[in-house]
Amino acid sequence: MTSQNIPSIQPLPKLVANQIAAGEVVERPASVIKELLENSLDAKADSIEIDIEQGGVALMRVRDNGFGIRSDELLLALSRHSTSKIRALDDLERINSLGFRGEALASIASISRLTLSSRFHSEELGHCIRLDGIDTLSAPEPIAHAIGTTLEIRDLFYNTPARRKFLRTEKTEFSHVHETIKRLALSRFDVSFKLTHNHKTLMVFKMAPHEDEQLQRVAMLCGPEFVAHVLNVNDVSGKMHLSGWITQPTYSRSQPDMQYFFVNGRIIRDKLISHAVRQAYEDVLYSGRYPSYVLYLKVEPNEVDVNVHPSKNEVRFAQSGPVHSFLVSALQKCLAQTTPSHVGPPTPSPQKSPSQGHSSSRERESSSQGPCTEKGLTSQGTFSSRKRESVMSEYPQKFPLGALGEKARVKGPKSPHKTDHPSALTIRETTQAYQALQAPLLSEELLHDIFTDDNTAPSKPIPPLGYALAQLHGVYILAENAEGLVLVDMHAAHERITYEQMKSAWQAGHLSAQVLLVPISVSVSEREADIAEQHIELFNKLGFDLSRAGPEMLVVRQVPILLMDANVPVLVRDVLADLLRFGVSPRLQENMQEILATLACHTSVRANRQLSLSEMNALLRDMEKTERSNQCNHGRPTWTQLSMKELDNLFLRGR
C-alpha cells in the first residue's frame, strides 16, 4: 500500500458531526420530545403544549411559557455545545437542570426541518429562525409571539433514510412519545401539560399543587387501580428525602412496566434503585411479580453524577451504599404498615370500584328493610339479641345451664317488666366455668357481647377484622366486622405472624429454644450432613442443637420453642436445602429471611385443623398488630372483605 492510498486525518464536516451526535441523542420521535420538554422545564415553564402528527415523524411542536431565549442568542442556541446551564467544570459536579450538554437542538436540527420561535420575557417582540438540515443559519426574523418558546420539528430523518427505515409504525412511535410525556408529567405536578395527536386532544393536565390533585393525575396516567392501592412514602435521612407512592404487595404486575423513579426530578433507570426496591418487597411479593411505584428521591446535586449516559437516564451515586440502605429502610417501614389496622383489604373486590369507600352504617341500614336489619351489627357495634341466641344455640351440650345455674341465662332486650338477675355471673366467672367444664373457650370480648344488653353495651369500637363466627372447610375463618363479612386464610395469616416473630427474635438474638426429652434422628445424604457440619453455628443461632451422628445421620436435641409442633426431620432437610442453594458464601446471611420463612411455614396452622372461636379471635387480633400481615411470606393475600353494600348488591337487595 502506498502512502497516497492511506487517508489523511482531518476534521469532520460540521453537518456530519452533528448527525453522528444525533445518533446518540435522537433514537426516535420520543427522544426529541424528551429533549424539548426538558428544555421547557429548565426555562421555568409552568404550561406546556405538545402537538404531534403521524406519531411525531411528520410534526412535533412544543410550546411553553418559560422565560424564552434572547433574540441575539437564537443562533447560538442551535450551535453545538452551547448552553446557559454550565459555565465551568465545577458546575458538572452540582447539576440542577435536566439538560446541560448543549448539543440536543443542533443534533435535532441536522436531521429535520426545524423552526425555533421565542420571545424573551423582557423583550417586546419574538424572533424566529429556521434550519432545513443544512450547515448554514439565517438571521432571526421578528414575529409576534407570546413570552416563551415554540419549537417545531418536521420530517424527522428526512435526510437520513438509513435512520428513518428503523422507525416503527405510527401507533408504536406515538406510544413511546406518550410514555415520555407521561414520565415528565409525573415528575412535575407544578406544570400543566396538553397533548394533541393528529388534531385530537388526548391529554390535559392542570397544575396539581395538592396531594389529592396529584393523585388524580397519577390515576389518569397509571390507572385508578394503582391509586386505589397506593401507600404514601415520606422519609428523610440526613440530606436524602424519599417521597411518593408505592403499591400494596398484592397489587403487582407481571412485568416492571409501572415503575417510575425520579432523582432530583430526573427519571432514571438504575440497577441500584431496582435492587433496593426488590429487597424491600422480597418477603411480601408473590414470586415472579413486580411492584409498581412512583417515587421521588432528592439528594445533594454533588452526591449524584448525571453525566453518565448521553440520554441522561442513568446516574451514579457518590455514596451508593447509604442510598441503597436508606431506600430499603424507607420502603420496608412503609410496607410494614400493610396491616388490617392501617390499610383496607389487600385485594380489590370485583364489584367495588376504586372510588367507592366503605359504606356507612346509615347506608347499610337504609339498604336493608324490615326485620333483616337485626341480623347485622347494631349501630353501637354489639351483637343483637338474635345473634346472641344464635351463638349460644350452637353450644347446648358444652354450655349446660344446669351447671352454671340460672345466673347464666342469656339476657334478651331490656323490658320495663323485667329486672336483671341480682347475682348474675360476670364474664370472667363464665369463662372460668367454661374451663371447668373443659368446653371450647369463647373469648372474653365475645362473651362480653353475648352477656351484655344492647342498651348498656360499651362504645368500644369493633376491631378491623371483627370477631370470628365460624370456620369454613378447615381453611378459612369467617368473621364479622363493622363493614360486613371478613374472610381470612388462616394458614397464610399465621405464617406471616410466626415469620415476623421469628425475624424479630433473630434480629434481637432472642430465639428461645426447648430441649427435647427424646432426641430426634434425621436421615440425610452425606452432602447434606457435610453442609450441616459447616453451619452448626447457624443452627445454634436458629435455636437448634444439632450434631452429626454418622455419615448420613443427624441428631436434633433442641428446637426453637416456636417450632415445637413442627415436623423436625422435614424442617431440618428444608433448611439444608436452603443452605445448599445459597452455598457457603456471605450470601447466606443475606438470605436468612428465606430460611426463617421456611421455618415459619412449618409451624403455621395447617388446613383442616379445627380452631375454637377463641383461637380464631386470637389469630385475628395478632394479625391486626403484626407488620405486613395483609399478605403471607409468599405475597399471597391473607384476608379480604365483602361490605354490606356489596352483599346487598350480590343478592339484589333494594332493587
Instruction: Check whether 205 has a pLDDT greater than 50.
Output: yes
Question: From the centroid of its chain, how far is CA 404?
Answer: 53
Please choose, from the candidates 106, 109, 48, the residue with its C-alpha nearest in 3D space to the C-alpha of residue 81.
106
Instruction: Check whether 497 has a pLDDT greater than 60.
Output: yes
Highest mean pLDDT, choosing among 156-160, 184-188, 315-319, 511-515 = 184-188
Q: Could you tell me what percent of the chain has a pLDDT over 70?
A: 73
* Mean model confidence pLDDT for the chain: 78
Across the range 173-192, mean pLDDT stands at 96
* Rounded Cα distance, 142 and 466, in Å: 73
> Picking from 218-232, 253-267, 340-354, which range would have the lowest pLDDT averaged per residue?
340-354
pLDDT tier, 34 (very low <50, low <70, confident <90, very high otherwise): very high
Instruction: Check whether 622 has a pLDDT greater than 90.
Output: yes
* Rounded Cα distance, 45 and 192, in Å: 9
At 282 the pLDDT is: 84
- In order, the DSSP letters of 48-74 are EEEEEEGGGTSEEEEEE-SS---GGGH
Tell me the pLDDT tens digit for each residue of 126-179: 999 988 866 556 789 999 999 999 999 999 998 888 788 889 999 999 999 999
Tell me the pLDDT tens digit for each residue of 386-430: 333 443 333 333 333 333 333 333 333 343 333 343 333 444 444
At 85 the pLDDT is: 64
At 290 the pLDDT is: 92
Domains and CATH numbers, the chain: 14-205 (3.30.565.10), 211-335 (3.30.230.10), 489-655 (3.30.1370.100)
Instruction: Check whether 107 has a pLDDT greater than 70.
Output: yes
Q: Is there a contact between 113 and 327 (Cβ–Cβ < 8 Å)?
A: no
pLDDT tier, 367 (very low <50, low <70, confident <90, very high otherwise): very low
Q: Is there a contact between 264 and 231 (Cβ–Cβ < 8 Å)?
A: no
Q: Phi first, then psi: what are they for 218, rounded to 5°?
A: -60, -40
Please choose, from the candidates 203, 157, 141, the residue with its C-alpha nearest in 3D space to the C-alpha of residue 177.
203
Who contacts 137 (Cβ-Cβ below 8 Å, separation ≥6)?
75, 78, 129, 131
Three-state DSSP state, 128: strand
- Pick 347 or 529 by higher pLDDT: 529
Please state the pTM of the whole predicted model.
0.69
At 2 the pLDDT is: 66
Highest mean pLDDT, choosing among 185-189, 408-412, 578-582, 596-600 = 185-189
Residue in this structure with the C-alpha cell 447434606, named with its chain if needed: 528
Q: Is there a contact between 558 and 543 (Cβ–Cβ < 8 Å)?
A: yes
pLDDT tier, 467 (very low <50, low <70, confident <90, very high otherwise): very high
- Pick 3 or 150 by higher pLDDT: 150
- In order, the DSSP letters of 219-233 are HHHH-HHHHHTEEEE
> Picking from 43-47, 210-214, 416-420, 515-519, which range would have the lowest pLDDT averaged per residue?
416-420
- Pick 202 or 101 by higher pLDDT: 202
pLDDT tier, 580 (very low <50, low <70, confident <90, very high otherwise): confident
Three-state DSSP state, 130: strand
The DSSP symbol for 268 reads -
**Packing angle between helix 170-187 and helix 211-222, nearest 10 degrees?**
160
455-470: string of b/e by CB count within 10 Å (b at 16+)? eeeeeeebbbbbbbbe
At 648 the pLDDT is: 93
At 355 the pLDDT is: 36
Torsion angle of the four alpha carbons 20, 26, 29, 33, in this order, in degrees rounded to the nearest 10: -140
Helices (H) and strands (E) in the chain, counts: 23, 22
* Rounded Cα distance, 259 and 268, in Å: 10
Instruction: Check whether 346 has a pLDDT greater than 60.
Output: yes
Q: Is there a contact between 184 and 41 (Cβ–Cβ < 8 Å)?
A: yes
pLDDT tier, 330 (very low <50, low <70, confident <90, very high otherwise): very high
Instruction: Check whether 359 has a pLDDT greater than 90.
Output: no
- In order, the DSSP letters of 174-213 are HHHHHHHHHHHHHH-TTSEEEEEETTEEEEEE----SHHH
Set of cell numbers at residue 244: 411518593
Residue 250 to residues 228, 636, 639, 642, Cα–Cα distance (Å): 12, 7, 11, 17
Instruction: Check whether 585 has a pLDDT greater than 80.
Output: no
Across the range 22-44, mean pLDDT stands at 86
pLDDT tier, 76 (very low <50, low <70, confident <90, very high otherwise): confident
* Rounded Cα distance, 392 and 385, in Å: 11
- 245 sits in the region (left: phi over 0; alpha: psi -120 to 50; else beta) called beta
- Pick 337 or 206 by higher pLDDT: 206
Residue 430 to residues 77, 444, 448, Cα–Cα distance (Å): 87, 9, 10
